[in-house]
Chain A
């Protein structure tokens, strides 16, 4: 069976300019909102429960349950806030970009329905600062909405722009940033549903989650749950990039084969090259070898391979790519984006870079490969947020899946790919980010092992 696009979030966006309110209303837009306003918040949450929708930001938390955590007014008199995480910064993911740019009203309708469900009059959309295109579209859509009291009701929606920090995609760092501070994650608990924005009950949801809510209300949760596979119901916007012929976003039913995704929709690996590896859910997820792609693209199937669907950013790598170079490029990103709060992440990611660079240059000794994995272990589960951990887990997965290639770097005293790997050249400018003259890895100081 050929893999097909199944559009629910992006429905009708190919045929019409849905950035215009009139066009969106012409296809039944904002009728889900009217329907939802006739329902009690509890009934909406039941509908979401029936749909089995899980958060599309990457954590897969059941949406209905997140909403149900918001305390009743007699438990906590503070106002409730809905905060939308539009700080999409995961390397490989660009779905929220397209959702906001092409179906802004469906997204905003989802925000208004959710605000009703969690009893909130204040919605804050935290959009990453670099997304000037989607920002302008949303400004236009909000102006149209502002003129329509029948639609916006008593809800105020504020667009809040970030300023360039990957960590602000982490929900508590996002809340800190929205409060006007440095974007450093908070200790959990308390969770945002109890103490979020300004210590008030707060629901934080992803853009795609919001844009999925109106179709669920329209078609009913049970019907939505007919799509997809267990634990991954409905559709997902998948971002394809790297060595594929047709990069872009594709909305598919959860559970289609990863191979079909790459070869049918993506058009396969260009230039007659062979597939080497696939990063399945954004750069924070563990890598899959070329022979592991006959797997369903859904939460459970990927979990069985010790990786994740994450934010659905599929990065395809062909046979020219050096895995040590990939490790450097990916790890330096996390090193650069570490907020610096937790020592294992702040120091560990830099140590990992140093070891990986020694491997690439052919200066590493045998024990340094184990040292690299040891540093990874010392980051895992020792930080407030998953940033450092994702660097550690992903780089460890490159070693696990391509150990012979790492070994070759030691045995041959250098990189067997050299500048034939497309990731080779890119090493130089990234060095802008590295900090010179700071403390070195234990092995380089000669104190360990």
Chain B
């Protein structure tokens, strides 16, 4: 059996019921496959001992699971109230310009997906941008170019 299978078994053992391992298993499958492809869902279901349909029904509820391909890097700009008040939209537009795509799209080379996201829980340090799930705080429009260059250079 695969390392993925073994890891899911270890996670299942932490809970009173195997089902609690669903969210962690989906995360692992996504990390392995890049997104929750039909293959990823099948592998996940096998390790959990359930059906791919159950896995997909759970995954489709949560924003952090991708049922369609995404770029190698994920740029998420918080546009909820607190960030919006201090200029999140200008930050977002900066990313759209630098990357040459609109929010919700992926660059042609498959490198970067850009999207808006609801409150990331860093309101006092706005604008918050999550780059591959790591928070950048106090992001200003004039700081966007350096972030994108960093992404392109593999920082």
Q: Which residues of A contact B (CB under 8 A)?
A: 79, 88-94, 96-97, 122, 128-133, 156, 158, 160-166, 177-183, 197-198, 239-243, 247-249, 279, 283, 313, 315, 317, 321, 326, 329-330, 333, 336-337, 339, 422-423, 425-426, 428-430, 432
Is B53's beta carbon under 8 Å from chain A?
no
Contact code string B58-92 (vs A, CB < 8 Å = 1, else 0): 10011111000000000000011110111111101
Measured CB to CB, the nearest residue on chain A to B114 is A429
- Given known contacts A132-B134, A330-B81, A182 and B58 CB-to-CB distance under 8 angstroms: yes
Question: In the docked arrangement, what's the CA distance between A288 and B90, Å?
Answer: 28
Q: Which residues of B contact A (CB under 8 A)?
A: 14-17, 19-24, 26-27, 57-58, 61-65, 79-82, 84-90, 92-93, 103-104, 115-126, 130, 133-135
Residues of B near A88 (CB, < 8 A) are 121
Question: In the docked arrangement, what's the CA distance between A96 and B119, Å?
Answer: 14
List 10 A-B pairs, Cβ < 8 Å.
Answer: A89-B118, A89-B121, A91-B82, A162-B23, A182-B58, A243-B85, A283-B81, A330-B81, A422-B87, A432-B103
Query: Max chain A CB contacts within 10 Å: which of B19, B57, B63, B124?
Result: B124
Q: Looking at the complex, which one of A165, A180, A241, A336 makes contact with B19 (CB distance below 8 Å)?
A: A180
Contact A161 B87 (CB under 8 A): no
Contact A247 B57 (CB under 8 A): no
**Chain A min CB distance to B118 (Å):** 6
Contact A426 B124 (CB under 8 A): no
Contact B123 A93 (CB under 8 A): yes
**Chain B min CB distance to A394 (Å):** 11
Q: Looking at the complex, which one of A79, A130, A317 makes contact with B85 (CB distance below 8 Å)?
A: A317
Residues of A near B125 (CB, < 8 A) are 94, 247-248
Residues of B near A183 (CB, < 8 A) are 61-62
**7 tightest CB-CB pairs across the interface, nearest first?**
A180-B22, A164-B63, A247-B124, A241-B123, A163-B62, A425-B89, A164-B64
Residues of B near A432 (CB, < 8 A) are 103-104, 115-116
Residues of B near A429 (CB, < 8 A) are 79, 89, 92, 103-104, 116
Contact B84 A329 (CB under 8 A): yes
Residues of B near A131 (CB, < 8 A) are 121
**Chain B min CB distance to A269 (Å):** 11
Residues of B near A241 (CB, < 8 A) are 82, 85, 123-124, 126
- Given known contacts A161-B24, A317-B85, A247 and B123 CB-to-CB distance under 8 angstroms: yes
Measured CB to CB, the nearest residue on chain A to B124 is A247
Contact A92 B82 (CB under 8 A): yes
Residues of B near A247 (CB, < 8 A) are 82, 123-126
Residues of A near B115 (CB, < 8 A) are 432
Measured CB to CB, the nearest residue on chain B to A97 is B121
Contact B121 A182 (CB under 8 A): no
Question: In the docked arrangement, what's the CA distance between A158 and B11, Å?
Answer: 10
Query: Max chain B CB contacts within 10 Å: which of A162, A197, A247, A339?
Result: A247
Residues of B near A158 (CB, < 8 A) are 14-15
Q: Looking at the complex, which one of B14, B15, B85, B133 makes contact with A423 (CB distance below 8 Å)?
A: B85
Contact B61 A239 (CB under 8 A): no
Question: In the docked arrangement, what's the CA distance between A278 and B108, Å?
Answer: 43
Contact B23 A239 (CB under 8 A): no
Question: In the docked arrangement, what's the CA distance between A133 and B133, Å?
Answer: 9
Contact B20 A160 (CB under 8 A): yes
Question: In the docked arrangement, what's the CA distance between A130 and B129, Å?
Answer: 11
**Chain B min CB distance to A328 (Å):** 11
Contact B85 A242 (CB under 8 A): yes
**Chain A min CB distance to B134 (Å):** 6
Residues of A near B15 (CB, < 8 A) are 158
Residues of A near B17 (CB, < 8 A) are 179-180, 198
Question: In the docked arrangement, what's the CA distance between A425 and B141, Å?
Answer: 14
Contact A182 B103 (CB under 8 A): no
Contact A336 B126 (CB under 8 A): no
Measured CB to CB, the nearest residue on chain B to A247 is B124
Contact A336 B82 (CB under 8 A): no
**Chain B min CB distance to A44 (Å):** 25
Residues of B near A79 (CB, < 8 A) are 16
